[in-house]
Structure formats: C-alpha cells, structure tokens
Structure 1
Amino acid sequence: MPITSLDYAYHQDVKSKTAIFPASKLEAAIATICASDEKSQDKRNKVLALLRDALQAGHAEVRRRFDKKSSGTMVVRANCFLVDQILKLVFKFVEEELYPIGSRSKGESFAVVAVGGYGRGELAPQSDVDLLFLLPYKSVPRTEQVVEAMLYFLWDLNFKVGHSVRNVKECIRSSLSDLTINTAILEARYLCGDDALYTKLRKTYDRVVRSGHGAEFIEQKLKERSERHKKVGGSRYTLEPNIKEGKGGLRDLHTLFWIAKFIYQVDDISSLVERGIFTKQEVRQFAKAQSFLWSLRCALHYLTNRPEERLSFDVQRDLADWMNYTDHAGTKGVERMMKHYFIVAKEVGGLTRIFCAALEAEHNRRSGFRLPLPFLKRKRSIEKFRLEGDRLTFRKDDSIETNPVEMLRIFHVAQKHDLDIHPAALRKITQSLRLINKSVRQDGAASRLFLNILTSPKDPEKTLRRLNESGVLGRFVPDFGRVVALMQFNMYHHYTVDEHTLFAVGILHQIEKGALKKEAPIASEVVHKILSRKVLYVAVFLHDIAKGRKGDHSKEGAKIAQRICPRMGLTPEETETVSWLVRYHLTMSETAFSRDIDDPKTIQDFSEIVQSPERLRLLLVLTVADIRAVGPNVWNAWKAALLRDLYWRTEELLSGGLAAEGQERRIQVAWEVLTKELSHWPAQDVAKHLELGTVSYWISTDTETQKRRAELIRKAENDKSPYTSEVRVDTYRQITEVTIYTADHPGLFSRVAGALAVSGASIEGATIHTLKNGMALDSFYIADAQTKTVINDPERLATLETAIEKSLTGELKTAKLLKNLPTRLPSRVHKALKVKPRVLVDNKASESYTVLEINGQDRPGLLYFLTQALTKLGLLVHSARIATYGVRAVDVFYVQSALGDKVSSEQKVKNIQKKLLEVLNA
C-alpha cells in the first residue's frame, strides 16, 4: 500500500523500502486470497500467515542493515515504516473482507492514529505499538467489531499493542486534564481510515488545548522531567544509566521536541533555527546525540531481546564490542563507549539549558506568554558584568573574543556574589571554548581566578560543576578534560572520574565547614591545623587526574601535578607536597583497611612514608574526602575508626610518644593500668592473668578491651566452660564484635567464618590471640552481609552465637549451607565484572608474620573456603583485614607456620599461592 503524503516525512530517510516490505506484492497476494471462495476464517488465517512471514522478513532485513553498522535512527524509522504497512493492510482486510459494509453512516467511520513514540515515527525493536482508534461520536457495534478484529490480528502477529478508543471530544477533554494523553495527541499521526476525522482532531486540539496553555504545558513537562530524573537517579553520571528515562537520555530530547511542537508548532527540531532558538550547530548536536542514543537503545533491545533501557554492567561489554570500541592507552573499550555516552548526556543537558533560555527570552517579548520562570529585573552591573534578573551575563558581545580570561572571571564573580550565570552567557562560552588556548592557560590572572574558585569558602563544588558542564574546566585544565565522563568499569566507583573529583572537593568543603563532625570527627578537627588550604584543595582536585592512562594512576598523577601546579602559581614546596599527596593518596586507606595496624611494623612503615605531622593531616583529610566521594554507603563507622586509629598511632610515633618506646616498657605500662582496673580481683588472680597474654596481645589492645576480655576469661575458667563467647555492639566503630574463648585448634578461624557466613554476617576484620595456656581468644568484627550495617537485634545475635557453637562442635554443615546463600550483588554483575585472582606473599610488612594479600571475585563463604585452605596448609592466622570493593574481595591475613615463624621457603610460598588460587578460581 503506498505511503500517504501525511506520513511521508517519517519514512523519507528509509532506503530500499521494498526490501523491507514489498507492499504492492503483498497487496496483490491478499487480493487473490480475498477473491477466493474460501471461508472468512480461512482467508484470515492465510492473510495472517502471509503478513507474519512478511513481518519476520522485514525485521530480519532491518536487523541485517543494523548489523552492518547502520544507525539506530534507520532502525526506528524502518520499523515504523514496516508496522505502518502491516497496519494498513490489516485495516483494509478487516474492513473490506471480514466486515464489509455497503453504505457507511457517519457514525460508522473511524480513523486509526499512531500515538506515543510510534506516532513520532520512532519504533525501537522491542517497543510497544501505541494506537488511538478515533471515533466521530460514541462507539457503534460495527466499529467495535472492526477494532476488536484488528487488535486480535495484531496480537496474533505478536505485536505489543497499547490502544485506546476515544472520540474527538474525549480526546480533547482528556488532553486538558492528563499530561500523558495531551502529549500523545500532540504527536498523533494519521495511519488509515477517516482522515477528515483526524484533521478535525488536530484543528480542535490546536484551538482548545494548545492555544493559551503554553506556559502550563512547559511547567508540567519540566516538572515531569525532574520527577523522572529523581526516579531513575538524579545524576546523569551513574554507571548503569537509563538511556531512555535518565538525565541526558532520549526522553530529555523528546521533552525538548514536545515543548517545541506545542509552543512553536514545528514538526522538526531544525525548524527552530529559523526562529532563533537553536543555531545550526546546535541542531546538528541534537541530531547527533539522538542518533547515538538510538543506536545504543536499538543494540540494547537486540542484545537482550526485551525492551531494556538500562545500560547495566552485564551488557556494556557486548555493546562496546558491537560498536567497535577497543581498548586504548590504558582505557578499556567499554569505558570509552561509556565516556562517549556521558559526553552525549552532558550535551543534551546543554541543549536543554539553551532551549529554556530561549523560552525565558520569549517570555519577555510576549506578554501573553507566561512561564514559571523569574521575571527579569532592572539591568545592573557587577564587576563589569551585566546583571539580568539574578543572573550574570557579558556586557558586550565581543568581550570574550578580546579577553578570553573573562570566561573564567564570570564564574568567579558569580561564585563571589552567589549569583547564577545567564544561559545566554553560558551559550556564548560554549561556542567560544576554542579561545581557551595555551596562552590563556599560562596567563597568571587566569590561574589566580581558577585557584580562587577552587579554594573559595563559597561552595567550590557548585562553581567547578558549572565550569565542567560548560566545558571550560576541561579546556583550561586539559588533563582534567581527559577524565571528563570517564567511567571505571567496576561496582565500587559509583560515578565518572570527573563527578567523583567534584564530589570530593565538595566533601572537603563540608569537612572544613564542620558539617561532617559526626561522620569524620578527626578530619574535621585537623583540617583547621593544616598550614596550606591551597595545597589540600589542589591535591583533592588532582588526585585522580591520571585515571584512564597507562600505568599506576597515582604515580602518573604525581608527575602531572609537578607540571600543573607551577602554572597554577604554587611554589616549588607546595608543588612537591601536592605531588606527594597525589602519589600516596591511596596509601592511608590501603594501610588502614588491608594491614594490621596493631603490628608496630605497620605503623613504622607508614610513618616512614608520611614523615611529618603536616603530611599526615593532609593525607587523612584527602583520604576521607576521596572515600566519601566514591558513592553512597561506601563510608562507614568501621572504616572511620580504622583511619582514626592509624592516624593517632602514626601521630604518636611521629611526635616521639609512647609508640617509640620499647616493647618491655609498653607492656609494663599496660600491666600497671590493667592492674588498677582489676583492683577488685585477688592479687594472685591478676598476676595469673597477666602471665597469659603474649607480647602482641599487650601491645595491640587497649585497656578497656583488656579489662572486658579479662572478665570473660575469668568467667570461663570459673565455669570450666569449653566455649565462652561475648557479642557486643562496638559503638565507636559501629560494628558488632564477637569474641570467643575456647581451646585453640587448627581450623578454628575457618569454622567461625563459616558459621557467620551462613548466619548472614560478613567479617570485616579479625584479631586472633593464642594465650600461653593454649586457649584461643579471638575477636571477629562483623556486619550484615547484605546491608553492611551493624547487627544489634538480640535474637539474631543469639542465633549467631548458637551457629558458632554448632560449627565448633561439628553440628553445622557449613559447606553445604553456603552453596544456597544468595550473592550480595546480582548474578549479572558478577558475570560481567570478572576479577583476576591474585595472591601476594609479603615477608617484609611485619617483623613476626608473613602477610598474605588475596584478591579475587567476592562470593558467599569466600572467607570460609580461604581460611579452610590456610588450615590445610598448616598456617596459623594471627589477624585478618577483610575488605570488599564492589565485586572485588581483598582479604589480608597475618600468618605463621605451625612452628611459629614466617613462611620463607620459596617452595612453600608457591604452594600457598597455588592452593589459594584454586579456591579463588573455584
């Protein structure tokens, strides 16, 4: 069936239409079937089979073209064309063959109208076909029969149909009260039937709904957009974005189109150039963004074979491969594809800002056109900039061309006076980014402006974000431009590198203001003792500047800092400190979370890296800002406590305090203090208890813990109990502490780890002490395995104790139960994000112990199986640090051989690595 002039524009970019759907051939074949003497049902079955084959062949042809790297735009237009032709043939067959009528009354006429995305001429591979059956008045029996027959036909063809049956009055009334219906009618497209009825709908809609309701429609659409963004995640830089509904996605482009169509009565975005809303370059940007997003969406539908709109981790690699993104210069292909997506999402945001600025300007030209936007106030001046309303703009059109530094200064002035920047000025800046060249970057005034913005007491994150959104930040600091929209393909980092960096600057600002005293008390205190704010802010800004490059990003970032800091006006001493901070910005967290900070060697090694109290303060604040900026729920009280303990012990050593004294003196002090705390005990009992502890026990535990454990041991000895436990909530660390006192034996750690795992708890850390009487005094610091929150429910705590006791007696079949435990993260994530297993054996990190660092894919019970393997290897675990970064588990054990010394034999080291790798690969 030939395409009518009414819908020609929607299909004009579809090439070789006959290969997709041979309309004339099929129409002739249907005519032959209709001319036969067969029963209507038999005719229907034959037509259905004919159309089903044609539809399947058409879809295959569209897919073939797409697989040859045609655009997604081609797919949605071609699919729309294909469905149009099917629908028209179905309509004609049902009307003329199944329910023929001689003389049709006016009430028996109706029109079939495409609405929704289908009405807009866009149909993704798995999208619904939205139809409006438009009636002149109320429904009559024959119309009901035809509509029903058409729907059954479409359902038999496996179409997912969304339909409504309304007359013109109902359409208009619903449009006035329902935004979704209003939008559907706005982009309604005639397919077949009574075209006069469709024309009547269009004219009535324009006269009643569109006329005089522009401001209301815009307000509703912008509100709808905000609510939609909030629902799918407020940031456009989330690592599993929704490319249809998310911020910067297809729906944002649709919103611009809907508003333009409603207000300016245009059918194409390019028409906005004539109206002065967009430039030709911006229209090309719109088309380019839409084409990229359509290609992604179509590939996503084809890959998943469902109407999937989210770029989840499990499909990102396949999408990147299909779109020919390869690994390059230290960046994975999937990360390059996602960077492209985030850049496009950012450009969509820029187009939205420009469009809204044009609407605001329109508001001032036409008194009858009212928007929920601020009225423009009397024009004033602030520091040579013009003020329109509460927004800054440039005084002259050529001010940027004559002095490009003004592009930075306007942001500085806006920050200084708490003002917004006018969208027209932002548009001018975006169009003039080429002017930010080497000479501007080396301009002293420009560097001072940027440094003032970065270190301002007035919310530097907000202004830096504006600089980034406008493109100025990436041009002025090209190394930062390389990490703009750069994602990291893991579940630990929740944002792109540039977003993470800006969040970190914002968190540093909050720490400095005292807004995080409860969450980060030590950082909030020491930040005011730091000698140079400038150094700290520049270091936070640059700490991830080398992400996405070959090599260690910390080392490469330190080199970049050496190059950038002098240009920013920093002294050689300040430059050196910033470079050092960037080089070692991960060291404090790695030490606190992955090393035994009760081991004096750990503190000694860390102190040798830090060297001064000032650098320790700087590194602490940078570390807190970095971790808190990773994403929600990454920072917790346990990590905060570990960092605080490391900070205090290192400060003590750097200041020449008690930590520098000998072991004998420190043990003597511990005994003296504990003896006072146990003054209610008989003296002989105290003396007997003091003889139980080892050197490491007395050095590594505080007095309060020693007292509590002494009471536990005394009770167990008096009761002659083979197993005694204590479960308490450690409010300081916001963690649940499980301490057990029982006879030491090989595999004790593994049994406890298994019991806790099957009880839904995860071990965050552990300290194991074997006392001189052969008894084990072990403490396990645990949290809920799923939520990573403190476990404080009395019933659940009792269940944990029972599980541990049953595990120690052999009643609990741990290995069998672990097989049925759910993973902490979805299985699709585990399949997509593979972690290469690694086992490091370090004999230098501790004077007395061999340190095993085990990296691998996290899974339920991993700690149980690892410690089980350590037991079989004849190793004794002294302490453990357990950390999880997304799907990557980093478990560190301080171990000794059965003889109580380090594992030094090369053959034994290789065997340890082999056995532990077998567990990781299982």
Structure 2
Amino acid sequence: MVASRLKPARIEHVVDGIRLRAQLSAAYAAEGENARSAVRSLLHGALFRGRMVAKERLEAGENGLAVARLLAQVADEVVAALYDYTTTHIFRARNPTAGERFAIIAVGGYGRGELAPSSDLDLLFLRAYKQTAFDESVTEYMLYMLWDMGLKVGHSSRNIDECLKLAREDHTIQTALLEGRRIAGDDSLAQELFGRFRKEVADRDHAGFITAKLTERDERHARAGASRYMVEPNIKEGKGGLRDLHTLFWLARRRYGFSQMREYVDAGVFTNEERNAFRRALEFLWTVRCHLHFITGRAEERLTFDLQPELAKRLGYGGRANQSGVERFMKRYFLVAKEVGALTRTLCARLEADQAKQSPKGLQRFLSSGRKRSAPVEAGFFVDAGRLNIESEDILDTPANALRLFSIAEKLDLDIHPDAFGLVSRRVRAFSPAWRKQPEARAAFLEVATSARHPGAALRLMNEAGVLGKFVPEFGRIVAQMQFNMYHHYTVDEHTLRAIDAMSEIERGRHTDQHPLASEIFPKIINRRALYLAMLLHDTGKGDGDQQIEGEKSARGACERLGLPQEEVDLVGWLVGNHLVMSDVAQKRDIGDPRTVAQFSKVVGNVERLRLLLVLTVADIRAVGNVWNDWKGQLLRDLYRLTEAALHGGRSDEEGVRAHLAEIAHGAKEQLLKDIGGARADVLQAWLDALDDGYWLNHDADALKWHALEVMRARTERAIPHVAARIREAQGVTEVLVYAGDRAGLFASLASAISASGADIVGARVHTSKDGAAFDVFSIQTTGHKPFGFNDPRALDALTSRLTNAALADHAAPPPAPPSRRNAAFAIEPWVRIDNDITPHATVIEASGRDRLGLLADLAHVCVEAKVSVVSAHIDTYGERASDVFYVQEEDGGQISNPRRIASVRGKLEAVLRAAEPAAPADPAKAPLAVGRASTAR
C-alpha cells in the first residue's frame, strides 16, 4: 500500500540551477583553473542534496515514479551546470563555427526522464561533424568530473550521421535514441538529430523493430526467470517487471510516436481503465525499485528474501489473519506483474490490428499472419488471425461462455485473441456465484482441467484472465500467494499449475527416463479426473493452519459444487488430505522397517490410491523448483514397490511385510552369489550372512553389488577401515561407503569429517553387521546440489583420506557458521520430536531447525554424549529449514524409555538447533551485505 501522492517537488527548491552556476563561476573567479576541487564539491553537494530530498520524500510516502523523475531533474541540473561551466570557463569557444556545435543528450531511461537512485547516467555527446579539439576536450573534462563525483556514466560521442547509421544497424541504439532528450548545448543540433531520427529510422520498418524488441524481451525473461511468479523476482528485468512496461512504451512510441500517457487512450490503444492500470503498475514498481536502491546503496534489482521484510515495512504492509506483512506485500507485487502481462497482450493486439504486412517468422502470436476471419467454430466463437475470438460482448451475457472460450481454445489448440481475453477479464468480475453451478459451466471447466492435451497451459490462461479464481474460489484464495521460505520458488498458484504441467508430461510419456515407475503406472490409473482435480486443489489449504486438513475441506467443497459423485469427492478429498504423506514416509522413515511399510499400507488402503499418490507426489516435488533428484525418486519407487507387494499379497500387517522383506533379501543374496561369488564365494557368503533383512531394502541392486565388491576387497586384503566413493550422476549424488570396526561415536565422527570437507549430506544409511562391523553409506552433494567431487577428483581423494582417519579417531565438528543474510531473513522455530511408537526396535528422533554447515554432525554428537547409537539417519532440507531424522537405540539395544533421559536428549538437541539462530532479526537497512549464498551443507 503505497502512501498517497505528495505535492510535487519544484526542482528549484531542490537544486537551484541559477545559484549553482553563480557559485561555480565564483569558484573559478577565485581560483581559476585550480578551482577543480571546489567545483567538484559544489556539484557533488547539489547532487547529494537532491538525493537526500528524493529519499526523504520516498520515505514520507511519495511514489517511486515521482522520485525517479525528481532524481532525473537533479541530474539534469548538475550535468547542465557542469556543461555551462566547462564551456564558459575551461574550454570556451569564443567564435564557434557551424562544425563546433555541440550538445549533451540524455538517452535510455535517463532520456525518458526517470532515474533510479543508483542507476547509470546514459549520455550522448553529440557533435555536428567530425571530432574537434573543442568537443573532445569538453567531453573528456565532463566525464572525468562526473566520475570523480562517483557517478556511473554510460557514454558515447558521435555526430548525427554516425548516430543514424548505428541506429539502423542496432535496435538497442534505436531504443536509446527513441527516448533521447537534450540536457545542454546546441538545441538546433539536438532537434536536427531527433527530426532526422524520426524520419529516417523510427518511421520505417516498424515490424522489424517490434520483432527485435519482443525477441529481446523473451531472451531477457529466459535469463531472469521465465515466470513472473518467482518468489525472488527481478523487478527490472523479470517477467512482469519494469522493463516490460518500458517495452510497451518503446513499441507504442515507435509505432505511433507517443510520449504521453493520455495519447494511449486518445488513440484507442488502451482504455482509460487500462491507462490507469499502467500508471499504477509503473508507480508501484518504481517505488519498490527506489527503496531497493536506497536500502542497499547499489543498483539492486532483485527482490531477495532478506530485503522483502524491510520493503514490506517501509510500504506499510502489516500482518493480517494468516498472512504476514511480507506475504501481503509480495502478493501485491505479483498482482501488479499479472496486470503488466494483461497490458502487454492489449498492446500487442493493437499492433496486430495495425500491421498490414505479413508478420516476420516466429512472431505470429504477436503480429498479423495475414489470415482473414474464418467461419464460426461454434455459435458465438470464431478464429481471428489464428486465435479464438468472440462475436460480440453479448456472448458473455451467458457466463458459461467465459469458460467455453478456454475450453474451445484448448480443444482446437488455439491461443485466445487479446480482445476476447481482455473482455472476459473485465466481465468476469461481475458474474454472480450462481454461474459456478451451471451445468454448461461445470462441463466446460472440467474439460479444461482434465484435458489430455495441455491442461496446465489452458488453466494458466484462465488464471491470468481471472476466470479460474472466480469460478473456483478455493483456488482464487491462493492466486499470487507467496510462501515466505527458501524452499518454494514460485507463488502457490504458479506452483500448482507447474505441478499440473509436470503430471501431464508424465502422462504423455515425456519423462520415462526420470520417472520410469510413474510413467509405467499412469495408464493403469482408473480415476484420472480425480487425480487432476486433486492436483489443482492440493494447496488450497495453505495459510489456514494444517494445509492437508484445511485443503481437504476446501477440495471437498469445490468438488461437491462441481457436481461430482460422492465417491469421487471422497477420493479427491483423501488425496489432498494426504498429499504429503508419501514423501514424508519415503524421506523421513526407515522403509526397511516392516512397521513403516505396514502403517503406510493401512493409510493408502488399495493399489489405485497408491498409484494416484505416487504420481501426485512426484509431480508436486518436481514443481517446487530445483529440488528434485533421482535420490528422492529412488526412495519413492522403493516405498511404492514394497507397499504394492503388501497390498497385492493381502498381507499389509507387519508379519506379512516382514515375510516379504525376507523374500527380497533371499533373492538379492542369491543374485549376488551368482553374479560375483566365484572363487571368493566364501568371503561373500560371510558378508551376506552378517547383514539383517532391513539392509536389502535401503539400496538398489547396483548399490548392493558395489557394496559387496568393496567389502570383499577389504576383507580379503584385511584393509579395515575401508572407504570408497563413486559418483552417481543420474541420482545427482556421490555415494561414500565406510566399512570399519564399530565404536561409540563413529557416525558423528564420519559426519563431522564430511561437513569439514564442505559436502552436503543428503542421505545416510547406517548398518551394523552381526559380526560387529559398521557399514555406513552416505549420499553427498556440493552446496550447489551437484555430486560432490564431480568436477574435482582431488576433493574426493581428500574426503576419502579424512574419512579413513575419522573412522579410527573422533573428528571434531566444524564450528557453527552464522547464517547468511538471506537465510537469516526467516524466523525459524526449532523443534524436536522423540517418538517410541513408530517402530518397536528404536526411538525415532526428528530434529528440525535452521540449516547450516555441520548441523548433522552436531546433532549426532549429542547422541554420542547421551550414549545412544544411531541406527539410521534420514536427511532432508526444505530451503532454509533442515529436517533430520535419527533411529537410535540404547547402548545395550532397545528404545530410550526413561522420561528423564528423553527430556535431557531433547533439551540438548534443541540447544544445538538454537545455536544456528541469528542473535537478532536481520535488518537489511543496517546490516552489511553478505557475500555469497547460504550453504545448505550439514
């Protein structure tokens, strides 16, 4: 909520140009050519005063656009005063010839009359003809003076012919000149440039310019992030940001010669409402940008997590209900970005209507393809230049047609015409709730939401138009909703639509290599419609307490309103209410434990639900961002196979699962003896007999073979401890095995050694053989989520040596490092849960808190001090939060049963977690900026 506009600041009240010139002349009169230092101080002082006034007005509630214009005016006064001083006192041309005419032109954004606090000054030093000693001297003197004042100056020195030649060759230079504005010097020279530029460049080849700018925009979006709903957006270069608004300005000015907002309305390009939306978006984005520059003291364009709370506070966003101030502020940002997208569509439609020529290849969606209006495809709908349009506004008197527009477009694989898109966006706001229950509307919506083609793309268009959230108000609640954490990369609605994209791609066989099981079982799914609706509604409970419980309630309400049979309503509700269960069990529980599989089998109930839940889970994780890897995929596949076998066999109790595990173990042993036994079959047999049945479920066949070969080598050569490592590129991890004599504190020592090497432990499997040997397997990555040592074999050699030493003697954990500035932006409440009901054989400890280097090792050392053994460890990170699960036993076996010991262990674990907390919340306005990114290594 940007505060109301203040009375505009008059530039003479900020920087008095006449007085400034008099002071400069006085300094020269007093010191002559030795006045340089005094002149610099006067100019810098004027610039500094202007910046301080701009900052004060911004903090008092002035919008950023007005501030940017004030800063540009201040820069104008300083540059013009410097030019006058230079040409009057330093390099005065007493009788200038026509060839010595000279002008200073502001170009780019500065030429538009807008300047961010830390942006460059883009200047063109314009000559009449060839370079002379006069203009070369003036240019050099001014540039050095501006640089000495600490300004960043983008500059060029050209004559008019050179400007026009380069503009014809380079659309970037064209764009800069399109916004040119004289600051000082010969006005007739500047006007000659602008006149010839309009006649010889800007009035020609509109299609080529539009093609280049839209292509440039697409490339910029790809660099900054293809979605306008990324939770750390680039407010200048990102999709829906300031540069997109500037692109609209460039296209309109190039095509129509516009320079004022009212001209858009007068020419019919935008309605008055859209003109106001343009203005609101421009003011809001400029406000955010100016605050960012002043807070950081640099040209910061990325709205990072550590800066968002301060921005929310400065703009007056406080917490309400279940939304924090920062989440409310970011929701406003994303709604503005969405509005920018709608304005882009509108302007492109106008350009299309005005474009007479065949559009350049690759731009058919923006400019006319030359096709004429076709016959209606259905009553009230027709194809217009390759896109679906509506005959008249009266069509929307039947609200169901708003949904039919998207349904028909999806069915025929057509884009929506911007005219129809804009009309639906405006009309849908007035629709009464009754339309949600109209049979035609329900049918059209379900066709789109469960399409076998590209449901995500069609739903995204409906969301952009405001139709999806209006028709499904449960979804409307999460539109532009941000989750203030480092785990989720997108807003809740964008994450949901990406999840639908991922699920549709799996169904169409696009990811058989990454998701072989999900691709294999999808054709066997019976309740496909329930699956797609569950995905659409799976996060509608976010922000209202337990997201699964609240999400199930909202999903049931939506499905009942859609008229689904009760059985389908129940299935969608169950999927939404349990959509996190499978990933939690796979990543946080020991699936080699019969009770874990038995309990999960009871939750699932039947194979159809298991299939639905696997596909839902895989697509949900993929849509989060860069968190998917095949390590997680393998965990999910293993849990699925075990549960499927238990459900198919009708023995989902613990004894049935245990019997099945024994069968798997027996089959795996037989296969290993057949594959690698040979002359060393006795050594291999001894190793196989020393392992319990749970081991065989924690590793795939390839890993079992690798383990057996390494252990046989160690036993044959009597080289214990033995450490080996291999890179599993497909899984995104490096696996490290340690075979050593068991001892108290071994796991903690090994974890400390790995953390000290700078590796991130993403998984750990701890085994103790029946003959007293320890066999621990770690899956590790770099902090950039790549296999550790992939590009640096020496790092892997050093880790192997360090682990060998750690297996023989305790290795101290690295000292806790303070969280990065970005990580410290989040308030994280540590917690510890200790449970004796999950399995009868061990106590399960779950510790969750702020992630940091060495956290796993520190938690493991608490177990050492408490004299409990770590049986297995399950490691995961959710952005800034770590969640580590340990299965532990007393020294003599069994669970920790003494309540005092449980309380003591909990207290010590909580103390370790709290050690990672910053002393006080980070204040972006005061704290120094951190270098580098947060480490997720533990």
**Fold-level similarity (TM above 0.5):** yes
Point out where structure 1 has 5 or more consecutive residues left out of the alignment: 1-10
Do the aligned partners of residues 447 and 722 (structure 1) sit closer, same or farther apart at CA in structure 2, a change above 3 Å counting? same
- Give 1:456's aligned residue: 451
CA distance in 1, matches of 2:388, 2:838: 57
> Partner letter of residue 391 of structure 2?
R
Mapped pair 1:89 → 2:81:
yes
After TM superposition, the structure 1 = structure 2 runs for residues 60-79 of structure 1, keeping only pairs within 5 Å, are 60-79=52-71
- Give 2:736's aligned residue: 738
- Give 1:301's aligned residue: 293
- Give 2:779's aligned residue: 781
Where 2:813 maps in the other structure, the secondary structure is helix
Where 2:266 maps in the other structure, the secondary structure is coil
CA distance in 2, matches of 1:772, 1:657: 32
Deviation at 1:52, TM superposition (A): 2.7
Per-residue CA deviation, residues 811-865 of structure 1 (Å, 9 max, x unaligned), is: x96535x779xx9xx9343232353322111111111111111112222222222
Contact 1:475–1:481 (Cα < 8 Å) also in 2: yes
- Give 1:440's aligned residue: 435
> Partner letter of residue 607 of structure 1?
S
CA distance in 1, matches of 2:218, 2:658: 65
Deviation at 1:135, TM superposition (A): 1.6
Point out where structure 2 has 5 or more consecutive residues left out of the alignment: 916-938
Do the aligned partners of residues 147 and 610 (structure 1) sit closer, same or farther apart at CA in structure 2, a change above 3 Å counting? same
- Give 1:877's aligned residue: 870
Contact 2:831–2:910 (Cα < 8 Å) also in 1: yes
- Give 2:805's aligned residue: 806
Contact 2:537–2:576 (Cα < 8 Å) also in 1: yes
CA distance in 1, matches of 2:682, 2:16: 102
Deviation at 1:214, TM superposition (A): 1.7
Contact 1:613–1:654 (Cα < 8 Å) also in 2: yes
Do the aligned partners of residues 665 and 544 (structure 1) sit closer, same or farther apart at CA in structure 2, a change above 3 Å counting? closer
- Give 2:847's aligned residue: 854
> Partner letter of residue 126 of structure 1?
S
- Give 1:343's aligned residue: 335
Contact 1:430–1:470 (Cα < 8 Å) also in 2: yes
Per-residue CA deviation, residues 722-762 of structure 1 (Å, 9 max, x unaligned), is: 42345456799665443333221111111222233334443
Contact 1:759–1:800 (Cα < 8 Å) also in 2: yes
- Give 2:930's aligned residue: none
Aligned partner of 2:386 among 390, 397, 412: 390
- Give 1:838's aligned residue: 831
- Give 1:643's aligned residue: 636
Deviation at 1:458, TM superposition (A): 1.5
CA distance in 2, matches of 1:802, 1:267: 68
CA distance in 1, matches of 2:572, 2:232: 33
- Give 1:5's aligned residue: none
- Give 1:153's aligned residue: 145
CA distance in 1, matches of 2:637, 2:663: 22
Mapped pair 1:496 → 2:491:
yes
Do the aligned partners of residues 656 and 124 (structure 1) sit closer, same or farther apart at CA in structure 2, a change above 3 Å counting? same
Where 1:192 maps in the other structure, the secondary structure is strand
Do the aligned partners of residues 664 and 501 (structure 1) sit closer, same or farther apart at CA in structure 2, a change above 3 Å counting? closer
Where 1:313 maps in the other structure, the secondary structure is coil
Do the aligned partners of residues 579 and 106 (structure 1) sit closer, same or farther apart at CA in structure 2, a change above 3 Å counting? same
Mapped pair 1:654 → 2:647:
yes
Do the aligned partners of residues 80 and 683 (structure 1) sit closer, same or farther apart at CA in structure 2, a change above 3 Å counting? closer
CA distance in 1, matches of 2:854, 2:693: 32
CA distance in 2, matches of 1:181, 1:710: 66
After TM superposition, the structure 1 = structure 2 runs for residues 478-489 of structure 1, keeping only pairs within 5 Å, are 478-489=473-484
- Give 2:42's aligned residue: 50
After TM superposition, the structure 1 = structure 2 runs for residues 185-196 of structure 1, keeping only pairs within 5 Å, are 185-196=177-188
Contact 2:602–2:652 (Cα < 8 Å) also in 1: no
Mapped pair 1:621 → 2:620:
no
CA distance in 2, matches of 1:92, 1:279: 44
Do the aligned partners of residues 617 and 671 (structure 1) sit closer, same or farther apart at CA in structure 2, a change above 3 Å counting? closer
Contact 2:723–2:803 (Cα < 8 Å) also in 1: no
Deviation at 1:608, TM superposition (A): 2.2
Where 1:146 maps in the other structure, the secondary structure is helix
> Partner letter of residue 857 of structure 1?
R
Contact 2:103–2:187 (Cα < 8 Å) also in 1: yes
CA distance in 2, matches of 1:138, 1:82: 31
Deviation at 1:239, TM superposition (A): 1.9
Deviation at 1:290, TM superposition (A): 0.3
Per-residue CA deviation, residues 72-109 of structure 1 (Å, 9 max, x unaligned), is: 01211111111212222222222222333433322222
CA distance in 2, matches of 1:475, 1:658: 47
Per-residue CA deviation, residues 496-532 of structure 1 (Å, 9 max, x unaligned), is: 1111111111111122222222211222222222221
- Give 2:269's aligned residue: 277
Deviation at 1:622, TM superposition (A): 0.8
Pick which of 653-662 and 634-643 moved more. 653-662
Pick which of 536-545 and 266-275 moved more. 266-275
Mapped pair 1:540 → 2:532:
no
- Give 1:723's aligned residue: 721
- Give 1:231's aligned residue: 223
CA distance in 1, matches of 2:680, 2:134: 102
Deviation at 1:24, TM superposition (A): 4.1
Where 2:463 maps in the other structure, the secondary structure is helix
CA distance in 1, matches of 2:642, 2:233: 43
Where 2:166 maps in the other structure, the secondary structure is helix
> Partner letter of residue 576 of structure 1?
D
| Aligned-residue RMSD, C-alpha | 3.0
After TM superposition, the structure 1 = structure 2 runs for residues 565-714 of structure 1, keeping only pairs within 5 Å, are 565-632=559-626, 634-656=627-649, 660=653, 661=655, 674=669, 678=673, 692-694=690-692
- Give 2:544's aligned residue: 550
Do the aligned partners of residues 46 and 506 (structure 1) sit closer, same or farther apart at CA in structure 2, a change above 3 Å counting? closer
Contact 1:753–1:863 (Cα < 8 Å) also in 2: yes
Contact 1:257–1:269 (Cα < 8 Å) also in 2: no
CA distance in 1, matches of 2:421, 2:569: 32
- Give 1:323's aligned residue: 315
User: What is the TM-score of this pair, normalised by structure 1?
Assistant: 0.91
- Give 2:421's aligned residue: 426
Deviation at 1:671, TM superposition (A): 7.9
Deviation at 1:273, TM superposition (A): 1.0
Mapped pair 1:475 → 2:440:
no
Contact 1:671–1:690 (Cα < 8 Å) also in 2: no
Per-residue CA deviation, residues 398-420 of structure 1 (Å, 9 max, x unaligned), is: 211x2121111011111111122
Pick which of 45-54 and 137-146 moved more. 45-54
Deviation at 1:603, TM superposition (A): 1.3
Deviation at 1:579, TM superposition (A): 0.9
Do the aligned partners of residues 734 and 115 (structure 1) sit closer, same or farther apart at CA in structure 2, a change above 3 Å counting? closer
Do the aligned partners of residues 150 and 709 (structure 1) sit closer, same or farther apart at CA in structure 2, a change above 3 Å counting? closer
CA distance in 2, matches of 1:190, 1:307: 25
Aligned partner of 2:162 among 141, 165, 170: 170
Mapped pair 1:116 → 2:108:
yes
Percent of pairs identical after alignment?
42
Deviation at 1:602, TM superposition (A): 1.2
- Give 2:920's aligned residue: none
> Partner letter of residue 738 of structure 1?
V
> Partner letter of residue 438 of structure 1?
P
Deviation at 1:580, TM superposition (A): 1.1
Per-residue CA deviation, residues 547-599 of structure 1 (Å, 9 max, x unaligned), is: 2x231111111110121101112111111111111111001000100111111
Do the aligned partners of residues 514 and 145 (structure 1) sit closer, same or farther apart at CA in structure 2, a change above 3 Å counting? closer
Where 2:822 maps in the other structure, the secondary structure is helix
- Give 1:559's aligned residue: 553
Aligned partner of 2:756 among 755, 758, 767: 758
Pick which of 694-703 and 483-492 moved more. 694-703
Paired residue total: 900
> Partner letter of residue 39 of structure 1?
E
Per-residue CA deviation, residues 782-835 of structure 1 (Å, 9 max, x unaligned), is: 34453343767876655443321122234x96535x779xx9xx9343232353
Per-residue CA deviation, residues 200-241 of structure 1 (Å, 9 max, x unaligned), is: 112111211122222222122112211221222222122221
Mapped pair 1:218 → 2:210:
yes
